[in-house]
Amino acid sequence: MDATGLRVALFSGNYNYVRDGANQALNRFVSYLLRQGAAVRVYSPTVETPAFEPAGDLVSAPSFAVPGRKEYRVPYRLSGALRRDLKAFRPNLVHVSSPDPLGHRAVSWARAQGLPTVASVHTRFETYPRYYGLAFLEPLIESMLRRFYRRCDAIVAPSESMAQLLRDQRMSYDVGIWTRGIDREIFCPARRDMAWRRSLGIGDDVPVIGFIGRLVMEKGLDVFSDTVDQLAQRQVAHKVLVVGEGPAREWFENRLPSAVFTGFQKGADLGRAVASMDMLFNPSVTETFGNVTLEAMACGLPTVAARATGSESLVTQGVTGRLIRPGAISDFADALQAYCEDPAARAAAGQAAQQRAERNGWDQVNQALVDTYLRIIRQRAQGLAPRSSPVP
């Protein structure tokens, strides 16, 4: 079998109603599958005004808004209508991208039908409670995730460091890599626009520290703010440029009154914003990959990041940026100060980062997931089921 024989039922907790790196990667992948001649059906919550148009056929799944985070929705059941749609579609593989109630039910449905299942890991859900004073829940969530992923034939992670973490956590016996690609037309040093910077009140000689992403606390906004405070106390010349939107924007603006907030940017405007920075500061530990880090690297920026699964596979310590122990405010400030005060070191790290980013093209990385699909289908045809399956 090749890709033209694939019939994929993809289950997502957020396919296109809120824009983030994970669902954009899924949409790019679906577009790639369709170009290869595969059939795809996507099951996800929907809203009246989604963030962007979906790739492929999207079927609405019953869902409810997350309390306190109403921009996100939880799909909670495999309704009769969805079951009938699945039966008519006749998938030969099920892909689940979120360990939510719908994902659990999709895996159960696939097992009942004797269909192989692949899960993609996009977020370190077990780390989220620590940002809401509930760190004691992490072992319980990790146990629940393990039960979910071990019922699948295989799981794929976006980086080798994340894949190794999943192996260490015993999440699956079959862990592969589905990394992320980069659009080099949008993310490249040529997008740098000094006139645009000046229009924001940023001087040509002022080093710009960038933040890119959803403005939510789990992205490390507190660590970012505390680090910037230290730079100010040290009288290090700099300007902070924040690109993104989210429920914590007001909090972040109050913490960083001298920063420039551009709001959400996309396409060529996003490429311009990223290339017009001088370095990226990414203190988050929740990403499994870190699309924004790769985008910044492609634009020739060094990155100062938390030593975590997402960044460790991209940032080479002392070469393309600096990796710092999570939450180490003074160490983050030291790394940023070094790049602010040494343009030559900044340029050298940025050039190395750009060269590293050139390895990631979307078609290559998406074909790797297609190859995983085909391998799992072959294994099932040979009678191999997930090792977590009950023995007959």
**Res 131 pLDDT > 70:** no
Residue scoring higher pLDDT (160 or 60): 60
pLDDT level of residue 161 (50, 70, 90 thresholds): confident
Pair of tokens at residue 78: 């495999």
The region of weakest confidence among 25-39, 110-124, 229-243 is 110-124
Residues 6+ apart with CB under 8 A from 292: 21, 212, 213, 274, 280, 282
pLDDT digits (tens, 9 = 90+) for 82-125: 999 999 999 999 999 999 999 999 999 999 999 999 999 987 66
**Res 154 pLDDT > 50:** yes
Instruction: Indicate the pairing of strand 303-306 with strand 321-324.
Output: parallel
Query: What are the angstrom distances between the C-alpha of 291 and each of 40, 187, 288, 314, 333?
Result: 24, 12, 9, 10, 23
For residues 353-372, give the mean pLDDT.
88
Average pLDDT, the chain: 92
pLDDT level of residue 389 (50, 70, 90 thresholds): very low
Q: What is the pLDDT of residue 391?
A: 37
Q: Where in the chain is the domain with CATH 3.40.50.2000?
A: 3-181+361-381, 189-357
pLDDT digits (tens, 9 = 90+) for 52-87: 999 999 999 999 998 888 889 999 999 999 999 999
**Res 13 pLDDT > 90:** yes
Q: What is the pLDDT of residue 104?
A: 96
Report the candidate in 176, 240, 253 with the shortest Cα–Cα distance to residue 206.
240
**Res 130 pLDDT > 70:** no
Q: What is the pLDDT of residue 38?
A: 98
Q: What is the pLDDT of residue 390?
A: 41
**Res 128 pLDDT > 60:** no
Q: What is the pLDDT of residue 124?
A: 65
Tell me which architecture the domain covering 189-357 has in CATH: 3-Layer(aba) Sandwich (3.40)
Residue scoring higher pLDDT (128 or 185): 185
pLDDT level of residue 186 (50, 70, 90 thresholds): very high
Q: Which DSSP string corresponds to 233-283? A: HTT---EEEEE---TTHHHHHHH-TTSEEEE---HHHHHHHHHT-SEEEE-
**Res 210 pLDDT > 60:** yes
**Res 129 pLDDT > 90:** no
pLDDT > 70: what percent of the chain?
Answer: 95
* Distance in angstroms (rounded) separating the CA atoms of residues 94 and 198: 50
Which CATH superfamily is 3-181+361-381 part of?
Glycogen Phosphorylase B; (3.40.50.2000)
Instruction: Report pTM.
Output: 0.66
pLDDT > 90: what percent of the chain?
Answer: 74
For residues 242-265, give the mean pLDDT.
96
- Counting every residue written for the chain, the total comes to 392
Residue scoring higher pLDDT (239 or 359): 239
**Res 283 pLDDT > 90:** yes
pLDDT level of residue 364 (50, 70, 90 thresholds): confident
The region of weakest confidence among 219-223, 276-280, 370-374, 381-385 is 381-385
pLDDT level of residue 388 (50, 70, 90 thresholds): low
- Other C-beta atoms closer than 10 Å to the C-beta of 259 total 17
Pair of tokens at residue 141: 């969530």
The three-class DSSP label of residue 155 is strand
The region of weakest confidence among 7-16, 23-32, 148-157, 356-365 is 356-365
